[in-house]
């Protein structure tokens, strides 16, 4: 490998300063060609995954496809298809090149997709309609799907705009999206805007005009330090009285907003078209953004079938979603069959402690650091439990409980997109944004997403194909049964 080739240094600079994804991609591929990584991709063998298993699976799929044997294809897919078959999603594989992965892995994913195409299009004298429907239902459920989770982050949350913008432009936005606190604003935009509408909604100019004065000082001795009027008006202008069910019918995206209770004996809630179809998105987002002390907690609202606006969960108020459910992966898994997560993480309480060496440690130092971090977390939770049990004051008990929930959360996913750690980020957490700061955060979000686009495309290609064909079959079933196919 040409490790000391001066051309590689030049390409490293081109990669770091690329102004578009196309320029970034071209520089990465050129780097792989010169460094020898391209030759590495072409060699099936590697200790990082079970290449022999994948070779055999590709061969079996090819033979069955060539013979037009639909039942053999269905059997091969049924018996072992999952997102990390043979450890093909091992992060260590991605470290060997700037872009892409082993060609064998790419070939396997493509063979599975071709097999799914062929099964869907099969003559129904060979595979009848309900056999197809059953196959795609069972396989989609077993294989799972990806979700996008947008963390809290106050003013840093505009970073999510760049992440979503990159995914949307490449048509890689997962259909399951969650947002907490500032992330709930961007998640709600995803849930209420079509592909083309998002292109406009996520521009720096539009974001700035909407949120340029979202914080105004209220003063001490009030319910909160900041007046929420400007934020509420901004959210109303974006989402009006749209409910979660209405948003889903428009975009077909499963969008969740997380909120935390403002009292002690309640758990965080996930608001979406399944759990709270008639809840109004505006109030859900306003509640999720209600950082304690900074903004006052919120009474949720819902829309009746007659169009009247009524309280939702009366006598309860809710606050910042990131306090207890910044990344609600486990509950999204139960609701939507999610088993793979893409995380855009801007939470200032988490980002400084998240490093790639801790997420996927390879060295002895990395493994040791992660282990020590886990021990500190466990010991801290134990200590807080003791303090909470010894405290009788209700207000103090609630505060201690919130602190524990912050420490006890998981702040990373399978794919993690993080902003660069810079001191100036701290100043953007509580300040009103400028057009320049929003544009910088959006560009940062885009550039941080570029290294992940290739792997996201590969990770989602099979699940999206499964759900696309399942949706087509369900639409056809609905039409034949005389039901609505929305």
Residues taking part in catalysis: 181, 320
The length of the chain is 486
**How far is residue 367 from each of residues 143, 354, 359, 360, 408, measured CA to CA in Å?**
30, 14, 9, 9, 20
d(CA 113, CA 105): 13
d(CA 360, CA 399): 33
The separation between the first and the last C-alpha atoms of the chain, rounded to the nearest angstrom, is: 54
**How far is residue 370 from each of residues 125, 363, 415, measured CA to CA in Å?**
56, 11, 17
Token pair belonging to 162: 């760049």
d(CA 145, CA 136): 13
Token pair belonging to 228: 């929420």
Token pair belonging to 115: 């097999």
d(CA 215, CA 207): 14
Q: What angle do CA 208, 16, 340 make, to 5 degrees?
A: 75
d(CA 468, CA 190): 19
d(CA 360, CA 357): 6
Helices (DSSP H) in 361-423: which residue ranges? 364-390, 394-408
Smallest CA-to-CA distance from 253 within 156, 145, 138 is with: 145
d(CA 102, CA 115): 20
d(CA 231, CA 6): 51
Q: How many CA atoms lie within 13 A of 187 on its CB side?
A: 37
Maximum distance among all Cα pairs of the chain, rounded to whole angstroms: 77
């Amino acid at each position: 490998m040409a490790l000391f080739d001066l051309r590689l240094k030049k390409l490293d600079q081109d990669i770091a300063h690329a102004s578009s994804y196309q320029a970034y991609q071209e520089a990465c591929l050129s780097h792989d060609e010169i460094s020898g990584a391209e030759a590495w991709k072409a060699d099936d063998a590697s200790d990082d995954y079970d290449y022999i298993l994948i070779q055999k699976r590709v061969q079996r799929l090819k033979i069955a496809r060539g013979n037009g044997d639909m039942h053999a294809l269905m059997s091969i897919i049924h018996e072992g298809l999952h997102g990390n078959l043979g450890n093909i999603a091992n992060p260590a594989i991605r470290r060997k090149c700037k872009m892409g992965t082993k060609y064998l892995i790419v070939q396997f994913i493509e063979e599975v997709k071709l097999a799914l195409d062929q099964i869907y299009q099969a003559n129904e004298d060979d595979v009848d309609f309900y056999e197809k429907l059953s196959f795609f239902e069972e396989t989609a459920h077993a294989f799972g799907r990806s979700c996008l989770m947008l963390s809290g982050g106050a003013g840093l949350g505009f970073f999510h705009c760049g992440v979503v913008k990159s995914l949307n432009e490449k048509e890689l936005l997962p259909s399951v999206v969650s947002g907490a606190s500032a992330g709930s604003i961007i998640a709600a935009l995803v849930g209420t805007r079509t592909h083309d509408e998002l292109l406009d909604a996520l521009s720096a100019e539009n974001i700035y005009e909407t949120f340029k004065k979202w914080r105004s000082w209220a003063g001490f001795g009030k319910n909160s330090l900041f007046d929420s009027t400007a934020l509420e008006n901004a959210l109303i202008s974006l989402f009006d009285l749209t409910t979660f069910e209405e948003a889903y019918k428009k975009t077909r995206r499963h969008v969740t907003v997380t909120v935390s209770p403002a009292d002690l004996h309640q758990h965080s809630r996930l608001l979406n078209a399944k759990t709270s179809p008639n809840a109004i998105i505006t109030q859900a987002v306003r509640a999720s953004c209600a950082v304690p002390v900074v903004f006052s907690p919120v009474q949720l609202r819902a829309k009746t079938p007659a169009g009247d606006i009524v309280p939702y969960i009366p006598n309860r108020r809710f606050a910042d979603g990131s306090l207890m459910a910044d990344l609600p992966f486990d509950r999204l898994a139960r609701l939507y069959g999610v088993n793979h997560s893409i995380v855009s993480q801007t939470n200032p309480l988490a980002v400084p402690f998240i490093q790639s060496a801790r997420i996927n440690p390879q060295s002895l130092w990395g493994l040791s650091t992660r282990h020590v971090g886990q021990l500190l977390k466990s010991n801290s939770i134990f200590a807080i439990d003791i303090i909470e049990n010894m405290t009788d004051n209700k207000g103090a008990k609630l505060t201690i409980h919130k602190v524990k929930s912050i420490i006890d959360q998981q702040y990373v996913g399978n794919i993690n997109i993080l902003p660069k750690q810079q001191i100036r980020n701290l100043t953007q957490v509580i300040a009103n944004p400028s057009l320049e700061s929003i544009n910088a955060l959006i560009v940062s979000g885009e550039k941080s997403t570029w290294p992940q686009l290739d792997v996201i495309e590969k990770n989602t290609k099979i699940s999206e194909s499964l759900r696309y064909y399942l949706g087509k079959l369900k639409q056809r079933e609905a039409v034949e049964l005389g039901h609505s196919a929305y």
